[in-house]
Structure formats: structure tokens, C-alpha cells
Structure 1
Amino acid sequence: MIKVGIIGGAGYTAGELIRLLINHPDVEIKFINSSSNAGNKITDVHEGLYGETDLVFTDELPLDTVDVIFFCTAHGDTKKFMESHTIPENVKIIDLSMDYRIKDESHDFVYGLPELNRRTICQSKHVANPGCFATCIQLGLLPLAKHLMLNDDVMVNAITGSTGAGVKPGATTHFSWRNNNMSVYKPFAHQHVPEIKQSLKQLQNSFNSEIDFIPYRGDFARGIFATIVVKTKVELEEIVKIYKEYYAEDSFTHIVEKNIDLKQVVNTNKCLIHLEKHGDKLLIISCIDNLLKGASGQAVHNMNLMFNLEETTGLMLKPSAF
């Protein structure tokens, strides 16, 4: 059994991670750390887990009792923890924050997008889980980058559910504001753009175009639905073939001939992609569950790879669908 510790156990991503791990056949959760909830039952915070666990939050850090630690902490906090604590050499780390997603010489974290870095993840001790928007958009573009087809600016519009803003209430997550409403935030300046560019450049070294990304807040709880427009003269039939070949060995990313909708992926670790050609414009529609494929599901996928398990273990989940 893989012995797991979770640091930062009270948020949405932690709640989904706990749900996945308590039902994972090869995992035993040793501790869930949350200083603000120490002594409370997990179900006091994550009420969807009633009847599934008797675990209790702790403020202790028995790091020497686990094989892997998941960080579900706020951005910046994982790096602070790493600098102030000594983690045993044999303990693997999967960080769901954005602290180590950008590659540099100061750390050895591998960018944890299996559809891009599967082999490296399998051999890694430290993995930086990608961002939710970044996952959805990259999966829509990676096959084109591999074939050196991204030579103009890329236009992206993507809408996310309210859980993407985290569990702490705010003005734009209040029900009376969010319900029957829609808004733009961080246009052309979203924090996930650098990691998207990093991945595209990994496959297409010549990539130097802009990603004109407009994020939207949606009036639903979970999911990301992205539309991406790229100029190309390549025929749709050839493009579909390129995408199917790229994702042929990937268990969770699927090319769909019919148009897709968000409910087909909500509550799953899937990414669905639909392709259309309009003149010389290629429309790529990509959708995921922001908390699963965009966070906790992908983190479990990375754990499976790091511990040489079948990659779908614990992740065969049914979509809401209707």
C-alpha cells in the first residue's frame, strides 16, 4: 500500500483528493494536515464524505510515516514549507500549487502533465501538478505543437466554474452575484499562460506567438469549457488524424467527432476535444472538470505513474452527464 500524507486538507482540491484516495485500492491515508481544523472530523468540512471515512484532521506532520505527500496549499505556501522543513529523502512530493510549475535551476520538480511528460513523471520524485486552465488549453494544443503548426497567435476563450476560485468566499463567488451571471477576469494576463507557453515550446522550440487568453467566470460550480482558434491551411481530416495519433496511448484524453458539452466530463478525469474547420480557422473545443483532470484527478494520475501502477487506478469515474 502507498502511504499518503496531505498538507492543506480543507479546500476543494483536498476534498476531491481525499474522496479519490479513500477509494483507491492501493492507498492508505496516514494523515491530513490542517492547522485550522486540527481535531475535527474530515466530514465536518468535506460533508460529501459522510459514511466513507472516520479520518480526523491533524496539525502534526509525521513525514517519516508516508511514501508521498500531496500539497493542496495556497500558492506560495509549498515553497515556504519546503524551505522550512526537512522532508525525508525517500518521500515523493506532488504539489498542486503553482510554486514549481515553471522549470528553473532552483528545483527538480517535473511538470506533471502526463500527456506531455509521462516517461519523466514515472521516474520522478517531485512533480508539479499543472493548473486547471493550463491543462484544458494545453491538451487542445499539444498535437499542433508537436507538428510545428503553431506559427500565429492563439486565441482562447475559456469559462470556469466557481470552485476554481477556491473554498474561501469572495465577492465574485457569492451566490447572488454569481447566479445567472457571467464576467471576464485577468484578460491576457492569467497566471497559467507562462506554463502553457513552456509546454508548447517544449514540443515546438520555435513557438514564439502570443496566447490571447480571455478567462470567464461561469454561473456553475465545476468544469472548464475552452474554445481555441488557430489558423492553418491543413485539412480537418489530417488534423483529426494528428490528434488521434498523439493521444492514442493516453487513457483520459479523447477526440470526439460530435460537438461536446461540459456535463460529459464533470466528475471525471477526462478531457474531451472536438475539432472543426471554418475556412483557414481551426476551432478546438476542449473541456475538463477543473477539480479532477484540472487538479486532484491529475494528481492521483501522477501518483499512479510515479509508483508504477496502472494509470487509471482509482480514476474510472462516471460523469454527471444529465
Structure 2
Amino acid sequence: MIQAGIIGGAGYTAGELIRVLLNHPEVNLNFVYSTSQHGKPVHSIHQDLIGDTDLEFSQNLNKKVDVVFLCLGHGNSKKFLSENEFSAGTKIIDLSTDFRIRSSDHEFVYGLPELNKVEIQSANFIANPGCFATAISLAILPLAKAGQITDEVHVNAVTGATGAGTSLSGTTHFTWRDNNFSAYKSFEHQHLQEIRQSLKQLQQTPNTAINFIPNRGNFSRGIHATAYTKFEGSLEEAKQVYAEFYKAAAFTFITEEELHLKQVVNSNKCLLRLQKFGDKLLVTSVIDNLLKGASGQAVQNMNLMFGFKENTGLTLKANYF
């Protein structure tokens, strides 16, 4: 079994990661590091874990673990790694935005398995994708691979309240969020940069606009995204493009059924539906923002890095009712 550690253990993402790793047959969760919750039982914060673990939050690091997951606020991973050094054999998976954009300043591989599986398998450092970036990229990457993004892409997506993290703000408080709906960061969401980066890996020529409207929904978890663009071929031709691109994918599936969030919440799946309206192809994409959009995908990356079967520890899902 490999030894794993988590840095920053109190948030929603860390809670999901702890749950998945505790049930992973190839992993021993060695420590959960938290400066804010030091000394408290992990289950005092993540209360669904009562009876599952006796671990306490720690301020001590085992610097020789096999893998470390960074569940820190954006901008804090770089700072943490500059102040703390792990063994040469420790692999690092960062769930923040800090290393997602390729740069000569770091060696992190962008951890979208459907795009970079081979690189991930030999990587020591992984930058886990953003939740919106995952849902949207998986919706349109097959078109880029086929050289079929020739016009603007229009995206509308809504995320649940857990996408904003555990810290309270004016737009996460229950009395504001309940029975409410709003758009934010229209056309300038931070995940656009990594989406464009992924598209350019597959289709270099057009710098087509991605017109993205993110929305806040009054539910807890999940992302429902719709993306449409011009597509000259038939619906059957589009389905063939997507089937070919995802033929070896462990968690991304094409369906003919109308999609809703309960199909993917509490799973590591991305479900896609294709429809054709005139000269436009509409792609609907649904994921759980805390699993396929964060912790589940991080474990999927870990599985690839250590040579485990890709879906190990990630297949259990309750009935959606």
C-alpha cells in the first residue's frame, strides 16, 4: 500500500478526498495536515466520517510519504512548497490553480486524464484541473481533436454552492443562495485560461472565442454545462468523433438520455449528450464539482501515476434517490 498525506484538510474538497482515500484498497492515509483544526478528530469537521477513522488533524508532516495532495487556497500551494520540502520520491498532486498553466517555472503536468493520460502516468507533479474547466473541456475537446472548432463557442454553466468553498461570503450564505440564481465573472472566469490551453494542444490554428457565462445555483453540488458551436457535419458524425475520442476513457460517457445532476453527483463520472439544431452542435456536460471536478479526479490521477487500475476506489455510487 502507498502512504498518502493531505495538506489543508478542513474544506469540502479535502473532506471528499479523505473519504475516497480511506476506502481506497491501495492507500493508507498517513496524515491530514491542518493549521486551523490541529488536534481535533477529522470526523469533528467531516462528520460523515464518524466511525470510519480515528485520525486527528496534525501540524506534523511525514515528508517521506509516497503522495501528497495539496488542498490549499489558490495561491497558497506555491508558498507551501517553497517553505516545505518532501522526499525525492514523493509525488505531489495540487488541487489549486497555482500550477495549471504550463510554464518553464515548474514541472507540473495538467491532470486531465482524457487529454494527458500518458504524461500523467510518468509525472511526479500534477496540477489538478478546475471544476468548470473539467466539465467544459470534456464537452468540446473532441471537436478540437477533429479540427472542428471553427467558430465561437458559447457556454452556459451552473455550479452548486460547494464550488465556492467553506468560507462564508455574501453569495454563499443560505439566506442569499436559497431560492436564488445569479451569473458571475461573465466572459472572464479564471478557468478559461486552462480551457484554452487544453484546446490548443489539439487544434492550433483558430483562436476562436469561448463565451462563458458561469452561474451560481441554489443546490449543493454538481455542474451542469451546455456548450454550442457551429458544426458542419451530421449528428451521427459528431457522435463518431466523440465516441472515438472517449473510447478508452474510464469515466467519461456519451448518452442519448436527457441529463440531470443526480446522474453524476457522488460519482467521478462525466456524462455528455450531443444534439444538433440547424448548423449548431449542442453538447451538455454534467459532473460532480467535488469529485470529477476536484478530489475524484485527483485520485484518478494518483491511480495513473502509481500504475493502479484507473477507476480503483472510485466506482461506488448510491442510487440517486
Q: TM-score, normalised by structure 2?
A: 0.99
1:30 matched residue in structure 2: 30
Report the Cα offset of residue 152 of structure 1. 1.1
SS in 2 for 1:63: coil
The aligned runs of 1:67-146 (5 Å cut-off) are 67-146=66-145
**Does 1:233 find its partner at 2:244?**
no
1:222 matched residue in structure 2: 221
The one-character-per-residue Cα deviations of 1:197-243 (angstroms, maximum 9, x if unpaired) are 00000000113111100000000000000000111111000100110
SS in 1 for 2:292: helix
1:47 matched residue in structure 2: 47
For the 8 Å contact 1:22–1:29, the answer to whether it is kept is yes
Give aligned pairs, total.
321
Query: What amino acid sits opposite 2:25 in the alignment?
Result: P
Report the Cα offset of residue 63 of structure 1. 1.1
For the residues of structure 1 that align with 2:104 and 2:32, how far apart are their CA atoms?
Answer: 31
2:174 matched residue in structure 1: 175
1:159 matched residue in structure 2: 158
**Does 1:270 find its partner at 2:266?**
no
For the 8 Å contact 1:113–1:129, the answer to whether it is kept is yes
Report the Cα offset of residue 320 of structure 1. 4.8
SS in 2 for 1:201: helix
Query: What amino acid sits opposite 1:157 in the alignment?
Result: N
The aligned runs of 1:162-311 (5 Å cut-off) are 162-311=161-310
Report the Cα offset of residue 319 of structure 1. 5.0
Report the Cα offset of residue 247 of structure 1. 0.4
Query: What amino acid sits opposite 2:254 in the alignment?
Result: I
Query: What amino acid sits opposite 1:211 in the alignment?
Result: I
- Structure 1 vs Structure 2 CA RMSD: 0.8
For the residues of structure 2 that align with 1:57 and 1:299, how far apart are their CA atoms?
Answer: 21
1:56 matched residue in structure 2: 56
Query: What amino acid sits opposite 1:149 in the alignment?
Result: Q
2:21 matched residue in structure 1: 21
For the residues of structure 2 that align with 1:235 and 1:185, how far apart are their CA atoms?
Answer: 34
For the residues of structure 2 that align with 1:62 and 1:258, how far apart are their CA atoms?
Answer: 47
Report the Cα offset of residue 176 of structure 1. 1.1
The one-character-per-residue Cα deviations of 1:16-53 (angstroms, maximum 9, x if unpaired) are 00000000000001110001111000011000111111
2:311 matched residue in structure 1: 312
Report the Cα offset of residue 321 of structure 1. 2.2
Poorly superposed stretches of 4+, deviation over 2 Å: 319-322
SS in 1 for 2:138: helix
For the residues of structure 2 that align with 1:304 and 1:245, how far apart are their CA atoms?
Answer: 23
Structure 2 gaps of 5+ residues are none
For the 8 Å contact 1:39–1:56, the answer to whether it is kept is yes
SS in 2 for 1:39: coil
For the residues of structure 1 that align with 2:219 and 2:319, how far apart are their CA atoms?
Answer: 13
Structure 1 gaps of 5+ residues are none
SS in 2 for 1:292: coil
For the residues of structure 1 that align with 2:41 and 2:318, how far apart are their CA atoms?
Answer: 28
1:3 matched residue in structure 2: 3
Identity of aligned residues (%): 57
For the residues of structure 1 that align with 2:318 and 2:279, how far apart are their CA atoms?
Answer: 34
1:150 matched residue in structure 2: 149
For the 8 Å contact 1:69–1:92, the answer to whether it is kept is yes
For the 8 Å contact 1:265–1:319, the answer to whether it is kept is no
Q: TM-score, normalised by structure 1?
A: 0.99
Query: What amino acid sits opposite 2:80 in the alignment?
Result: F
Cα gap change, 1:11/1:320 in structure 2, threshold over 3 Å: closer, same or farther?
A: farther
